[in-house]
Amino acid sequence: MTALAHETLEAAMPTVTTPPSDLDDVLWQAWKAMELPEGYRAEIVEGFIEVSPTGRYSHARTANRLRRALDTALGGGEFTAYQDMNVIHGRKVWIPDVFVALEDADEHVTEDGLGIDAAAVHLVAEVVSPDADSRDRDRDRKRRAYARAGIPVYVIIDDYRARGSVTVLSDPVPDEARYASETTVAYGTAVTVPEGPAKGVVIDASITGVLKDAR
């Protein structure tokens, strides 16, 4: 993922220094006006518009495996797993690889219809992409962003930490932009979702694959 360069936004940005709330509005308007090539998506993360290509095959396969496991566990009830949808918090926009929310979420759709409010999301998951900026985004920037939004559970599936790891974060502390609880295991070791509609869902080698070759 590449943060959109400041000069790219120059036409949309005011020429005077603006307070953060105004910057959020400028980024929001610029994001809504973007026309991306097919196969790209844009998010607003910690004061930047970040543009990334859709995931490679291995990335999509892992995300699909997780979505299927979540849907199976949710059992056709009132919650379901989603992909490829905007999650919106104020003037921030994210497109998690997978997230869990109500199946009938009409009342949580934002007024403009662009996505679902983060307050209705119970779990988000990201499958880390190989480039350095994407790694930083999923491991750090999105961790802080999701915690600020109070999303209860954040799952990070990471091919590029050691020989593969899964991190499950819970108990968000929004004012401190952090999660109070964290569990990290190597690929091949099962870890469970600790709370929410997906509580008890097991993330193991059937989703992640086995340990990767040493990097």
- Indicate whether 29 and 91 sit together in one domain: no
- Indicate whether 78 and 173 sit together in one domain: yes
Per-residue pLDDT tens for 135-193?
999 999 999 999 999 999 999 999 999 999 999 999 999 999 999 999 999 999 999 99
- Indicate whether 100 and 159 sit together in one domain: yes
Q: Token digits for 153?
A: 């559970």
Give Dmax over CA atoms of the chain in angstroms. 53
Domain that holds residue 26: 2-52
- Indicate whether 93 and 163 sit together in one domain: yes
pTM of the model: 0.88
- Locate the DSSP E strands across the chain: 2-3, 40-45, 48-53, 79-82, 87-89, 92-94, 98-102, 116-117, 123-127, 153-158, 165-173, 178-186, 191-192, 202-203
User: Are 165 and 139 within 8 A, CB to CB?
Assistant: no
- Domain total of the chain: 2
Answer yes or no: is 104 within a domain.
Answer: yes
- Indicate whether 18 and 64 sit together in one domain: no
Per-residue pLDDT tens for 27-58?
999 999 999 998 899 999 999 999 988 888 99
Answer yes or no: is 215 within a domain.
Answer: no
